[in-house]
Amino acid sequence: MSLYFAYGSNLSAPDWLRWCAARGHEGAGLRYLRPARLEGWALEFSIRSPSRGGGVLNVRERPGALAWGGLYEVDEAAWRALDAKEAVPTLYERRTVSVVCALGQAHEVVTYVAAAGTGLDLIRPVDAYVALVRQALRDRGIDTTGLEQAAAEGYARGR
């Protein structure tokens, strides 16, 4: 088992399990632990998702920023499913980062960031995707401020 930081739709257990079932992946190996924050990174809608029909979340390094999400334990089968869902290496790539969990402990984890050459411009998000992530954050007791700021920027400046 290794650790993963989720900040988008993977925070939603129903969405994750639905995606896995539709594509023949086992989804049980992604186990939520607790809220966590990625310091010095900001949420932004800068990935175009063909399946979602618009912009989806990415994280970009930004001094002073804070991206909230969830800390997970992941087994090998779930890593394969995550890589497939995140379209590695076309849309996203794995990146090792340090997060601080809600208990104040720092953890070295893997998250997904835009692959080289992608995630350069803001993409207008789809309302249903924003609502899905908002609900997942609320269900996990995680602050939605970063999501709301990223969505407002995406709606205003996204193409």
Count of CA atoms in the C-beta half-sphere (13 A) of 135 = 11
Q: What angle, 0 to 180 degrees and rounded to 10, lies between the N-to-C axes of helices 76-85 and 13-23?
A: 90
Q: How much is the pLDDT for 123?
A: 94
CA dist., res. 116 & res. 73, Å (int) = 26
Contact in structure between 115 and 95 (CB atoms under 8 Å): no
Q: Does the model's pTM come out above 0.75?
A: yes
CA dist., res. 77 & res. 61, Å (int) = 29
Q: What angle, 0 to 180 degrees and rounded to 10, lies between the N-to-C axes of helices 127-139 and 13-23?
A: 120
Domains in the chain: ranges and CATH: 2-152 (3.10.490.10)
Q: How much is the pLDDT for 117?
A: 86
Contact in structure between 5 and 97 (CB atoms under 8 Å): yes
Angle 16-155-98 from CA coordinates, rounded to 5°:
50
Local confidence pLDDT in tens for the 159 residues of the chain: 899 999 999 999 999 999 999 999 989 999 999 999 999 999 999 999 988 999 999 999 999 999 999 999 999 999 999 999 999 999 999 999 999 998 899 999 999 999 988 888 999 999 999 999 999 999 999 999 999 999 999 888 877
Q: How much is the pLDDT for 102?
A: 80
